[in-house]
Structure 1
Amino acid sequence: MQLGFAMLCAGSVRAKNTMNIMLTNVLDAATGGLFYCLFGFAYGSPFNGFIGRHYFALGSIPSSSYDYNNFLYQWAFAIVATGITSGSIAERS
């Protein structure tokens, strides 16, 4: 999804700003992934109470019995939300 939004954003800006928007998308994905691992999964897990009691920085996750599909699914939507936001304000100054 992130690559699709990067291509959409690159197609909607002028050629001279394509490298800037691609770098913005890469940085959004990198920082979004980092902060989602540190805080987002703890706040977004439905089995975690109102604000989150555990899973900060994926503290108890690395185990052989945990299904990582839920984490990757939520992570993908979290970083796409930042990509949509940065793409919507491209070339606005």
Structure 2
Amino acid sequence: MQCGFAFLEAGAVRSKNTTNILIKNLLDSCIAIVCYWSVGWALAFGDGSNETWGLFVGTDNFFLSGFKDYPKFFFQYVFAATSATIVSGAVAERCEFVTYFTYCIVISGIIN
């Protein structure tokens, strides 16, 4: 899916920005896996045993500690990365590089 979105964006922008779009999508996947691995999985699927935060977010499995079901993690990571990449097409040529990657960190690590 990432390649498809990258090629769709590359076809929608001016030819001088094609390399920037492809690099942005590659870095988008790299940042998404690090953020989802460190924080995103725990917030979405961690055990909610804490009485204060446990009702809303997970409170364990940060950095996948004690987790063994890696195919499920990878499946969910792809959705987290894809949700960030969809917005990438909407802001192509309209957004600063640093601003987009700040957004990517937030959506991949916290929102998903």
Q: Where does residue 61 of structure 2 map in the other structure?
A: 55
Aligned-pair Cα RMSD in Å? 1.4
Q: Where does residue 19 of structure 1 map in the other structure?
A: 19
Deviation, 1:52, is 1.1
Q: Where does residue 72 of structure 1 map in the other structure?
A: 74
Q: How many pairs align?
A: 88
Q: Higher relative contact order at CA 8 Å, sep ≥6: structure 1 or structure 2?
A: 1
Q: Which runs of 5+ in 2 are unaligned?
A: 49-55, 96-112
Alignment partners' CA distance in 2, 1:59 and 1:14: 44
Alignment partners' CA distance in 1, 2:38 and 2:12: 32
Q: Where does residue 110 of structure 2 map in the other structure?
A: none
Residue 30 of structure 1 aligns with an amino acid whose one-letter code is: C
Which 4+ stretches in 1 moved above 6 angstroms?
none
Q: Which runs of 5+ in 1 are unaligned?
A: none
Among all aligned residue pairs of Structure 1 and Structure 2, give the percentage whose two residues are the same amino acid.
Answer: 43
Alignment partners' CA distance in 2, 1:56 and 1:9: 33
